[in-house]
């Protein structure tokens, strides 16, 4: 068993739960009740659900990889999932740092949840 990937998978599923519960309350509800045109509103709503599915599947993949013996074939998938979370964290950091807010890194803190998954997945990659 790969402890790093196990920790990454559990953390990723925790991130998915935070996204689904907190995101529905803090992002989806306000989005659906705002004055944005219906088509872009529904596209953003669908994208939120796509990210939900992606986070859950990534967490499950990490758990599966943790419980199997690492091989050269699984190593590529492990690195892909690590890169995936690095890219998500980088996207949030780029958006966060591009706005002129006080304490922007705490205003959109999603990167704080995504980076540890990336680091643990990378540490556990074969």
Locate the domains of the chain by residue range. 3-124
Res 88: pLDDT = 96
In this model, does residue 69 exceed pLDDT 80? no
Rounded Cα gap, residues 19 and 22, in angstroms: 5
pLDDT tens digits for 95-124?
999 999 888 898 888 999 999 999 999 999
Rounded Cα gap, residues 19 and 35, in angstroms: 23
**41's tokens:** 């509103």
First to last CA, the chain: 12
CB atoms within 10 A of CB 51: 15
Q: What average pLDDT does range 58-76 have in this prediction?
A: 88
Q: What is the pTM of this model?
A: 0.90
Long-range pairs for 27-33: beta carbons < 8 A, 24 or more residues apart: none
């Amino acid at each position: 068993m790969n402890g790093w990937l196990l920790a990454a998978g559990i953390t990723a599923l925790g991130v998915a739960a935070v996204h689904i519960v907190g995101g529905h309350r803090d992002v989806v509800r306000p989005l659906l009740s705002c004055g944005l045109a219906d088509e872009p509103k529904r596209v953003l709503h669908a994208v939120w659900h796509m990210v939900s599915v992606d986070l859950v599947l990534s967490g499950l993949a990490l758990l599966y990889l943790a419980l199997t013996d690492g091989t050269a074939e699984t190593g590529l998938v492990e690195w892909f999932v690590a890169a995936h979370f690095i890219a998500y964290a980088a996207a949030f950091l780029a958006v966060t740092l591009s706005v002129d807010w006080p304490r922007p890194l705490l205003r959109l803190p999603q990167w704080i949840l995504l980076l540890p998954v990336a680091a643990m997945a990378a540490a556990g990659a074969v």
